[in-house]
Amino acid sequence: MMAYRSPHVGLLLLLLVGAAPALAASLQVVDAHDNTPLAGAVVEVHHPGSYLPRTDNDIIQRDATFIPHVSLVPAGSRVSFPNRDTTRHHVFSFSPAKPFELELYLQETPPPLAFDRAGVVVLGCNIHDHMRAFLVVSDAPTAAMTDADGRVSLADLPPGTHALRVWHPRLEDTHQMWWEGTIDAEESRSVALELRATQTAPSEPSALQKRFREALEDRASE
């Protein structure tokens, strides 16, 4: 004889499963010197899984500053560099992940650039020495940036232990240096980074900066 099963049993089981708390790893990134939380640190977890979808992004130039100072995009994403200043800028990078130049322009935003290679792209302006920003191109299936408290939640990781990498603009070598370790799918941990005391700008203008400054001076004298 077939046993009777109330339809409410299946519903109850579904509710119980749905009520189970979601499991996720969590991470806080701090300064090793004084334990200060570090906002804007890039966290990557490498594990089997699909790459993050490509995105379209803007890095704006306003008040002779790149905004945001640190950006994180999946590999293959496109980035535009709108100029919202009343002065011209010349955006460039010599970083191996994406060397490029966007020559002097004002409101006529150049076409977006595709960033296909993973790595840290250091951005500068050949006219304004102090303008500097960082674009981190990631090919990790899980990547995020820490919030104001230096924290990030890493949800939906596969079970097990995974390779963990952390980057911050004040690491000694912004092109190559990543803190490396591991994290479990349900682990909560802290990472302390050894940082430079201050973030320094190049002491001497590059050859391109000198060339374009001379061109600007020539234009101004015409």
Give the number of domains in the chain: 2
pLDDT, tens digit, for every residue of 62-111? 999 999 999 999 999 999 999 999 999 999 999 999 999 999 999 899 99
Residue 168: inside a domain: yes
d(CA 70, CA 41): 9
The yes-or-no verdict on residue 18 having pLDDT over 70 is: no
Which pLDDT belongs to residue 16? 39
> Quick one: 101 and 68 in the same domain?
yes
Average pLDDT over residues 117-143: 95
The yes-or-no verdict on residue 192 having pLDDT over 70 is: yes
Q: What is the CATH number of the domain that holds 34?
A: 2.60.40.10
pLDDT band of residue 23 (cuts 50, 70, 90) is: low
Average pLDDT over residues 3-31: 57
Q: What is the CATH number of the domain that holds 101?
A: 2.60.40.420
The yes-or-no verdict on residue 216 having pLDDT over 70 is: no
Residue 120: inside a domain: yes
Distance of CA 73 to the CA centre of its chain: 6
124 lies in which domain range?
A: 57-129
Q: Which of 129, 160, 187 is the last residue of a domain?
A: 129
Q: Model's pTM, two decimal places?
A: 0.78
Which pLDDT belongs to residue 50? 84
Which pLDDT belongs to residue 51? 84
> Quick one: 61 and 125 in the same domain?
yes
Residue 213: inside a domain: no
> Quick one: 47 and 62 in the same domain?
no
The yes-or-no verdict on residue 198 having pLDDT over 80 is: no
> Quick one: 46 and 74 in the same domain?
no
Which pLDDT belongs to residue 69? 96
Residue 100: inside a domain: yes
> Quick one: 67 and 44 in the same domain?
no
d(CA 215, CA 209): 10
The yes-or-no verdict on residue 2 having pLDDT over 70 is: no
> Quick one: 100 and 149 in the same domain?
no
pLDDT band of residue 13 (cuts 50, 70, 90) is: very low
Which pLDDT belongs to residue 176? 58
pLDDT band of residue 8 (cuts 50, 70, 90) is: very low
Residue 16: inside a domain: no
> Quick one: 109 and 153 in the same domain?
no
Residue 15: inside a domain: no
- Angle value at C-alpha 177, between 99 and 167, nearest 5 degrees: 90
pLDDT, tens digit, for every residue of 155-169? 889 999 999 999 999
> Quick one: 64 and 118 in the same domain?
yes
Reported for 161-164, long-range contacts at CB under 8 A and 24+ positions apart, including other chains, are 161/185, 162/45, 162/46, 162/47, 163/45, 163/46, 163/47, 164/27, 164/43, 164/44, 164/45, 164/46, 164/191
- DSSP codes of every residue in the chain: -PPP--HHHHHHHHHHHHHSPPPEEEEEEEETTT--B-TT-EEEEE-SSPPPPP-EEE-EEETTEEESSEEEEETTEEEE--B-SSS-EEEEE--TT--EEEEEESSSPPPPEEE-S-EEEEEEESS-TT-EEEEEEE--SEEEE--TTSEEEEESPPSSEEEEEEE-TTSS-TTT--EEEEEETT-EEEEEE---SSPPPPSS--HHHHHHHHHHHHHHH-
